[in-house]
Each structure stands twice: as C-alpha cells, then as structure tokens.
Structure 1
Amino acid sequence: MACPKLFLSCLLLQLMFLFLVPEVAHGQGLKVGFYQKTCPNAEAIVKKVIGQVMSVAPSLSGPLLRMHFHDCFVRGCEGSILLNSSTNQAEKDAPPNLSLRGYQVIDRVKTALEKACPGTVSCADVLAIVARDVVVATGALSYDVETGRRDGNVSSLNEALNNLVPPNANIITLKADFAMRGLSVKDLVVLSGGHTLGTSHCSSFSDRLYNFTGKGDTDPKLDSNYIARLKLKCKPNDQTTLVEMDPGSVRTFDIKYFDLIPKRRGLFTSDAALLDDSETKAYIDLQIKTGGSTFFKDFGVSMVNMGRIGVLIGTAGEVRKVCAKVN
C-alpha cells in the first residue's frame, strides 16, 4: 500500500490492516501456561516422551531443534513444516529440509496429547516445547515456553526454498533475514549456537571445499587442515553423507561451537560470517572468555523470541488432530 498523499490517514489505514490480519508477527496472545486449564499435564506429557526418545536416540536432538527453526522461518511458527503433500511439494520436501528427522517423534508426542486432551494442543506448540526439551536433555538450561499457537493449513516447497536462511549467507543477508522476522543481531549469534547439535549434508558446504568462487578453489576463511578432513568425508557432488556440525560434541549442548568459529572451523559460510560483524564477534569472544557465562540463558530468551514469529492465535488456523495433515 503506497501513501503518496494524505500520509497520516494512509498510515493509519496501514496500521489497522496490520492488526486485522490473522498472522500476529510478534507473538501477542502467547503466554506461559496457556494450557494450564485445558490440558494441565501437556508439558509433562511432552517431557516424558522426549525423555524416552533421547535415552535411545540422542542423535535426534539436532534435527528436532532445527525442525522448530525451519518451521518458524517459513510462514511463522505454525506447524507447516509437519504437513505432508501427496505430490511432494510441502515444506518438508524442500532440499534444505531433507536432513530433518524425527517426524515420528512429533507424531508420538501428539498421539499422547490427543489421548489426554483431544483437540487441544497445537502441533506448532508441540514443536516449540519439543525444541526446549531436547536441548535441556542434552545439557542446556530450561526456559519457559510460551504457548497458544494454532496450526496453519498451507505448506509450500517453494516458500521453504525462498525463506529459509541459506548456509552460504553472508553477514548482511543474515542480519537482514533475522531483522525481517523481528529478531536482533544478538538473537542471530545466539541461535547460531544451536549448531552445537546435529549434522549437515555435505551439499550444504561442499562449495567451500571444491568450488568456492567457481574456479575449483577452496574458501580461504576455512581452516586448511579442516578442509582436508572434510574432503575425506565429502567427495564432490556428495548429496547423502552427513557431517557433524560441532565435531565430537554433536550430542551435547555446549559452547564448543563458539570455540570453532575463530579457529575458522565453522562448517557453513554463515558460521564464518559471524566474524564479519563487530557485535556477533564480540559475543563469540565473550562466551569463549567466560566459558559461556551467558549463552545458556541467552539461548532460552532467543528461542522464545523466535517462537513468536508469525504465530496464529485465537480463531486463526486450527488445532490439528494429526500433525501431518489438516483436519
């Protein structure tokens, strides 16, 4: 909506429009304990299931955490990452999401919740609570999760391709993408710390090993010894091999990811980019110097901030009975 004339009146109309749309950009309407009356044991049920899963499959912690990230950055935190498509055109079918695992865990949690409180807890809230519980199970501090999200009914492969932050993003792109979603530069560096958990396909960083500028070269910002190690695992055009994002610490939530960045051993271009901004670099230096004195608390705060992106509340959307399909 352009406002070449009558600027004030037009601005007021724009503001009215923003308040009328069902997608709430900054999480108004969410609150801690949303299900206190309608499903008082909801979070305890989720915690029990996740505890059982982590005891036998701790490698799912990274993918389950990323599932919440990837959901929120496309259409907002409204569970669209979970929807199936008969033509393989849903968000989960997009190449950046093919390394996500653990959908069966979400289904297991949802089944338990439906048994206790039918039609009450949204799949979007399940993702947020599960993300908290997997990081706590792997060593993070707990934090209160705001709930009250409702589920969307649209999931698009193309939207995932266009909206997920690519692993080769530079610092300008990263800051712009986070700012567009109401997240700060601090949120950017803190949430990047989530790369301490999980793995990535070689294809997400192979250009840094074999063809960084299109001339068959390597990325000068990547440690040469690390390049040699990665080449042993990732051959050119390898689309299937998985590599640990935080080698040796892939199942533990800690600050070792931040130790890797100044050593030029961050796996992605977007990791190395955190050294190109004074604020993100200063945060990394602080965590290294203090042994992560603020990171664990900061991570909870930034996860809550991210969980407010584009949520559906009130009568918008629905509460899915099965997370993989609309009611």
Structure 2
Amino acid sequence: MALSSKQSLTFSTYEPNEALDVVRKIYCDACWRLGPRSRSVAPITIFNRSFGNFALSTVGYGRAIEIEPHADDQTTMIVGVIKGQVEFSGSSSEFRGGPGSIAVLSSLEGSRFRYDEEAETYKFIFDRRRIDTFIARMTGLPVQRAQFALQMRSEAHCHLWMGFFRTFQEINASHGVAQRANIIQLQLEEMLMTALLQTQDGHHTPLLDKPAATIAPKHVKAVSDYVLRHLPDSLSLGALAAVGECSIRSLTRGFNATYQCSPMQFIRHERLKRVRADLKNKGLDRSTVTEIAMANGFNHMGEFARHYRLAFGELPTETRQ
C-alpha cells in the first residue's frame, strides 16, 4: 500500500515485484535477486521525502536481497545502516557495515547492494552535479567531478549523520515544521553538502585546505548591498557567492574580515535591526510581531525571539510597548 504526494511516499508490501516498481520510480531502474535461503521476515517498507534538489529515504526489505541499480553517474548517495548488515561493491571498492556505519557513494554506476533479512538503511540522495558546482564555489576553482572515500571511518562523523537523519525524521513528522522546511530547502541542501565536505575525505580535501585569498572589499560591498535589498527573501550562501562572483569560502572570510561575522550572521542581524525599527514605527501598530518578523525574512518565531533578545536585551513585545 502506498501513500504518496508530490513530496513524500510511504510504501509497504510483501510482494517483491510490486516493491521493485516503486524502487524504479523513486531511485532508478534496477534488478534484484533474492538470497538462496531468503525468507520473508517483514514487509518491504520504503519511505521517500523530497526536499527540492535532495531527498531522504529509508528502506527495509525484510529478506536477504541483492540489488543492482542500472543508474547513470549523476547521483551521490550517503547510505547509513540503521540495523542489520549491508554490503556494497563498486567498480573499485567495497563496503560492509552494521548499525551506525555509513558509506558515501560518489556514483551508483556499476554498483551492487546486498542486504540481510534484518537490514534497514537511511539514504540522503543528492544530484552529483550540484555537489560538483558547490565544491567549485567553495574553492573558487573550475567544476570537476566529485570523488569521495567510500567508508566514513570517524565514529563522531557517523553519529553526526545519524543526528541529521533523526532531525529530518522529526521535520517530516511535524506538518508545521515541514512546511517551513519547504521554504528553506536550498539552505538545508547547502548545510548537508557542507557537512559532507567537512566529514568525508575526497578530491576536494586538499583544495579546501589551501589558503584562500582575502576577498576584495568591493565584493563584500556588492553582497552586503544585495542582502539589504533582499532581506525578506530566502538567501543562501551559494546565491550570495554568485552575487559576489567569488567562492563561498572567500565570501565568508571577507565578511569575517569586514564585519567580524559570517554572511548568515550579517543577514540575521540586519533583519533584526529592521524588525526593531518596524516595531517602533507607530504606522505599523496594526501588524502583529509575527507578521513583522515574517515580512523581514524570519520563519521560526521561537528562534527569532531568542536572537532578538540576545541582540537587544528585551523581547519584541517589550520593544513595541
């Protein structure tokens, strides 16, 4: 039985062929073989939630199974093992892991998965081309194909990604939070891609370790002016770097040198200042605090109130009084 919408799908069945049709629709074309002594211990369950350009999935097959995707090389996937044992083999590397372990698949091309009866996994699925472009923005170098080490060896990093998985589960479970997540999908994607670059070695590692040149003041000014003109809008580091015609790393260094804060902290502080001015504006007395905050780019009222108090030493309602 499948429950689906444009953004999410939950599916459960005991029929492998029925499940294979869903796998082909969500991920890619594939073929699979049941293990020689495979027995059904649970239904095949699949969950998939799209967040714009990336997705989160969980899969449990309830039987020993081998899957061979017929995929191109345009997908990068982070696979975390929740329970059971999972094996993966690619063109030049292999992975075997139990609960808590993570594999980073730079591409699904030429890959093969093996799950035991108890195996259940979560997957963060990205468009590899967007990761390639993101790395280019981070380093200021031409776009090249991303290549990551297969196994995530740091236990702390594995715990971090399990934490991301649990957080996104909670986001999906709460309708209100999920609606807000839809508004900031680009920021969520960039957060995860940044975490991937920081937690997993690959061709990008020496590039990120190289000293970056300090950004010219005119680029900082171009971005800060753009921010002030677009405070109510959804602003991402990638978009701001494009405005400044620089890498994200150079942009961040430039803001730290000029304003002693990151670009996102600069955005938040300017939004807070504008909210404060609006709260003091008698012409806006009929607008609620929430309406004014949302009109200036804030979507999470609890976080807004906390940052407002830290910045000005009082609650927004106290400013209005």
Scaled to the shorter chain, the TM-score interval is under 0.3
- Compute the TM-score of the two structures, normalised by the length of structure 1: 0.24
TM-score by structure 2 length?
Answer: 0.24
Structure 1 or 2: more helix by fraction: 1
Rg (Cα) greater in structure: 2
Query: Looking at both structures, which has the greater relative contact order when contacts are Cα pairs under 8 Å and sequence separation is at least 6?
Result: 1
More strand as a share of residues: 2
